[in-house]
Amino acid sequence: MAGRFAPSPTGELHLGNLRTALVAWLSARAAGVPFLVRMEDLDRVTSSVEHEHTQLADLAALGLHHDGVVVRQSERFHRYEAAIAHLRDQSLVYECYCTRAEIRSAASAPHGPLPEGAYPGTCRDLADDERAERRAAGRRPALRLRTHGETVAFVDERLGEIAGAVDDVVLRRGDGVPAYNLAVVVDDALQGVTQVVRADDLVPSTPRQVLLQRLLGLPTPTYLHVPLVVGDDGVRLAKRHGAVTMRDLAAAGTGPAEVLSMLAASLGLARPGERVAADDLVERFDPATIPPEPVRLADLQRSEP
């Protein structure tokens, strides 16, 4: 049994990422299970080892120490390929030759209960000669999961039961890189992760991941999705919102202790301005105190000591 934080090392962690990491760490510590960190560096163009180091240093500065070695997805492609092979054996994999633009225009047509932007199934039933034609034109196929319009439900510890229709999710991109939804499912299972804590922008992906778990014969962990931190314009936190990383904040005179205090207050775990250590928060941790709405940067900053 374990909990985990799974950042993409494509930049510095911002306050939203750090707040989610704090919840993931608290959830693991409160349950007395190991807390793992996994680097989701499937995209090797945007990922870097420097970002990994900075992210780990930021977590450590807040007192969010991890257990065991840090795993990198870029070193585990063979495991994802084994899972694809397992799905292929069940005739659940097909080649998709669509470009992004083709999917966008096809997906804008109404197609029943599927979520917006869902893959409309264009390549599901291509004949051999149609496939050969596309291949001859130099297109490299992505691999997709053959679904059957399933609606899959899961229970979130904060949000309760959530059901979503599942589309033919990508398993491997056209450039050969395994897809996020597959990698996350394989890794959580192989690492013994029993609690998934992450940002709530991934709620719509969770039914897909639960379906993949079932098809691969893997267990389903518990889920706790944490609301995002947004800028004062209501948009998900980004560099342009100002001092949003530990480095920016330190330069502005706000050190790790103040950052932890702000994050704890925003989660209902400390009074605004109260000095706390991460370890002190473990016994206060309760997913029910996490405010349901996205937190605005200005509100976070208001509780700075």
Cβ neighbours, 10 Å, residue 23: 25
122 binds, options ligand GLU, Zn ion, none, Cβ within 5 to 8 A by partner type: Zn ion
Give the per-residue contact string, 29-68, with ligand GLU (x = CB under 6 A; - = no): -----------x----------------------------
13 binds ligand GLU (CB under 6 A): no
216 binds, options ligand GLU, Zn ion, none, Cβ within 5 to 8 A by partner type: none
98 binds, options ligand GLU, Zn ion, none, Cβ within 5 to 8 A by partner type: Zn ion
Determine the Cα angle at 79 with ends 77 and 115, to 5°: 80
Q: What is the DSSP string of 74-101?
A: GG-HHHHHHHHHHHHHTT-EEEE---HH
| 217, HSE (Cβ side, Cα atoms, 13 Å) | 5
Question: What does the block give as tokens for 53?
Answer: 């180091």
Cβ neighbours, 10 Å, residue 215: 17
C-alpha 126/C-alpha 135 separation (Å) is: 12
Among 144, 198, 225, 241, binds ligand GLU (CB under 6 A): 198
C-alpha 80/C-alpha 145 separation (Å) is: 14
Q: Nearest distance from residue 149's CB to ligand GLU, in Å?
A: 24
8 binds, options ligand GLU, Zn ion, none, Cβ within 5 to 8 A by partner type: ligand GLU
Among 2, 28, 96, 264, binds Zn ion (CB under 5 A): 96
Interface residues toward ligand GLU, by CB under 6 A = 6-8, 40, 184, 198, 202
Interface residues toward Zn ion, by CB under 5 A = 96, 98, 122-123
